[in-house]
Amino acid sequence: MESNEISSHEIRVYRLLAEGNWVTSRQIAEMTGVAPRTARAHALKLVHLGIADQAEVFPGHRYRISAHAAQRNRGYHDRIQRAAEALGIE
For residue 3, name the pLDDT band (cuts at 50, 70, 90).
low
3 within domain boundaries:
no
* pLDDT beyond 60 at 40: yes
- Whole domain around residue 66: which residue ranges? 8-87
57 within domain boundaries:
yes
* pLDDT beyond 50 at 2: no
CA angle 38, 53, 10 (to 5 degrees): 30
pTM score, two decimals?
0.89
Minimal CA–CA distance to 45: which of 21, 28, 20? Answer: 28
1 within domain boundaries:
no
Minimal CA–CA distance to 52: which of 66, 42, 38? Answer: 66
Q: What is the CATH number of the domain that holds 60?
A: 1.10.10.10
Helix (H, G, I), strand (E, B) or coil at 67: coil
Total domains in the chain come to 1
77 within domain boundaries:
yes
For residue 4, name the pLDDT band (cuts at 50, 70, 90).
confident
Q: Is the separation of the CB atoms in 30 and 65 below 8 Å?
A: no
Looking at residue 51, the DSSP 8-state letter turns out to be S
